[in-house]
Structure 1
Amino acid sequence: MTNVNSRVKKHREGLRMAGLRPVQIWVPDTRRPSFTEECRRQSRLVSQADKGDADMQQFMAEALADVDGWTE
């Protein structure tokens, strides 16, 4: 086994002993040509849904007011 493989194996064994286990997460491929348009499509849907929700508008306004001063 190569040095790198040995270190990776040791690291993973340590994580397992700490009670963790590996998982595989599939995420959208941001390099695909259709990715940008799909983001726009979903954003439009969310925006349209939020416009009709007065509670959401109030929540967002309060959340926005709460971030004042976070960055300097």
Structure 2
Amino acid sequence: MVTPIAHRVRKRRDALRAAGLRPVQIWVPDTSRPGFAEECRRQSLLVAAADASDPELNALLDAALADLDDPAET
């Protein structure tokens, strides 16, 4: 027997599929896991070090920001 809630969920999913959408399952890190914050810090330090060793990165970012601020673009 299908419960009223299961019927509503099925109906909603069918409507979404009819609209051309499909369900996607996304796995994300468990932020409550021990060591999560430390791993974030470790990875961010690696990225910062890589950015600091790339002299062309700041020029690229500055150019991208300048494009966003260009009034002729709007």
Bin the TM-score by the shorter chain. Answer: 0.7 to 0.9
Query: Alpha-carbon deviations, 1:8-47, whole Å to 9, x = none?
Result: 1111000111111111111000000111011001000000
Aligned pairs for 1:10-25 (under 5 A) are 10-25=11-26
CA–CA separation in structure 1 for the residues paired with 2:67 and 2:36: 32
Larger radius of gyration between Structure 1 and Structure 2: 2
**Which AA in structure 1 matches 2:41?**
R
**TM-score between both structures, scaled by the size of structure 1:** 0.75
Tell me what 1:41 maps to. Answer: 42
Runs of at least 5 residues in structure 1 that lack an aligned partner in the other structure: 68-72
CA–CA separation in structure 1 for the residues paired with 2:65 and 2:39: 26
Tell me what 1:50 maps to. Answer: 51
Runs of at least 5 residues in structure 2 that lack an aligned partner in the other structure: 69-74
**Equivalent pair of 1:51/1:57 in contact (CA under 8 Å):** no
2:10 is the counterpart of 1:9 = yes
Q: Percent identity?
A: 58
**TM-score between both structures, scaled by the size of structure 2:** 0.73
Aligned CA-pair RMSD: 2.2
